[in-house]
Amino acid sequence: MPPLRLDDLVPNPGAHKKRKRVGRGTGSGHGKTSGRGTKGQQARGAVRRGFEGGQLPIQRRLPYKRGFTNIHKTRWEVINLGRLAELGTDETITPDLLYRRGVIRGLEFPVKILGDGKLDGAVTVVAHAFSEGAKAAIEAAGGATETLERTDRWVSARPRSRRLPLNAALKDAGVGKVGGPKRADAVATLKTAQGSGGD
């Protein structure tokens, strides 16, 4: 067997098939219509992407996404003055009282008082927010308003920072800044501080 050389290498028989030229005369067997038949969609060029023959394409059949859901939106328990008047009580109206009377569904959302309706007597109302009209109507009836402080759980549905405690501590230590400590050194320092009680 002669030695194998690069100039002796050839493809296997049938591995490379010569391209058939079409549309070059009827004698070739693939002239005139070039094997595509006569007229019609298949005899012409390619259709555009997403074309389904004229029927409504899938991107139009599916529901169209509009807008977005604001994850930072604050949900309120909205109560009008007319609803408060229906309670018929002289005691201080608080979110707890409204919940016990079935006016609000729960205590997980802040309570806001609006000015639709009329109060028959003086009453003290405690809520997280008041409209200007509601506050004026309550005070005009001889009552008083007290605004509760809103907690962070109502301000946002998600925490503003998703950093892990370690990453936050490393950032405060200056890791990643020019001239700052190396990550491994900062981690060792934090572990030492935690082991000694932070002294």
Section 125-134 average pLDDT = 95
Helices vs strands, H then E, count in the chain: 7, 5
Res 37: pLDDT: 93
Statement: 77-155 belongs to CATH 3.30.1490.20 = no
Section 66-89 average pLDDT = 88
Res 153: pLDDT: 56
Res 156: pLDDT: 46
- Of all residues in the chain, the percent with pLDDT exceeding 70 is 89
Q: Which residues in the chain are classed under CATH 3.100.10.10?
A: 77-155
Res 68: pLDDT: 86
Res 172: pLDDT: 81
Tell me how far apart the alpha carbons of residues 103 and 47 are, in angstroms, rounded to a whole number: 61
Tell me how far apart the alpha carbons of residues 49 and 1 are, in angstroms, rounded to a whole number: 55
Residue 144 has pLDDT above 90, yes or no: yes
Tell me how far apart the alpha carbons of residues 195 and 80 are, in angstroms, rounded to a whole number: 55
CA-CA-CA-CA dihedral for 94, 98, 101, 102, to nearest 10: -160
- The pLDDT tens digits of the residues spanning 156-167 come to 444 444 445 677
